Amino acid sequence: MGDARGFVFTKLRYYGILKYRIICSLWMKVSLWMKGIVAGKGIKFYGLPVTVRMTGSRITIGNKCSFRSDYSSNLVGVNRKCIITTLRRGAEVTIGEGSGFSGTVIAAAGSIRIGNNVLCGANTTITDYDWHGIEPYRRNKPADPKPVVIKDNVWLGLNTVVLKGVTIGKNAVIGANSVVTKDIPENVIAAGNPCRVLRILDTEKKSEKE
């Protein structure tokens, strides 16, 4: 074995994270149930996220999702815990199956719907309202939400921010540090501030020989 120290360190890290994940997942299973949050099977938690469900609102998390709230669990650089919260009565957050989140904030005053197999890179933010009124005389008053929909197989890059009233089509890839303020169609790569379409994705599977 050419790199015994590297091999041993890698194995120790793997089993340490595995043990940590099991403990966190067991705790969160109880915590989510106590808060009235509907959670599917096989959800993995690396570290403990912040979850807040407002009275009369709904949070639903599908099967086999993963939440990374510990900086050591994603070496690209997670700098905060995952936060999932509803902020008003009647608000809803719905997350499909097999989606992954790293230091992601999901905050709904109205409705946020996230599809299946969505990847949210480190420190992404998804919110359906502005938190404060835009006009100076409304600055300290609640803003009005607009629904956010992120469809299946979307990938949000590192530090992406998705704002109110946005729909992101299936399979879309949003580049790192983007701010999404308008709808993004399916099967595209988009990036920037404000985010705009850069090119169409090739969605046809090709053989390795090609």
Check 11, 19, 35, 132 and give the catalytic one: 132
Q: How many CB atoms lie within 10 A of CB 31?
A: 16
Q: How many CB atoms lie within 10 A of CB 177?
A: 15
Spatial neighbors of 77 by CB under 8 A, at least 6 apart, are: 71, 122, 123, 158
Measuring CA to CA, how many Å separate 110 from each of 50, 60, 106, 205, 207?
A: 19, 14, 12, 37, 44
Residue with tokens 């595209």: 188
Q: Is there a catalytic annotation at residue 172?
A: no
Measuring CA to CA, how many Å separate 172 from each of 103, 105, 123, 193?
A: 20, 20, 18, 16
Do residues 154 and 161 touch, judged by C-beta distance below 8 A?
no
Nearest to 125 by CA among 101, 142, 147, 91: 101
Question: Helix H segments across the chain?
Answer: 4-34
Q: Indicate which residues carry an active-site annotation.
A: 132
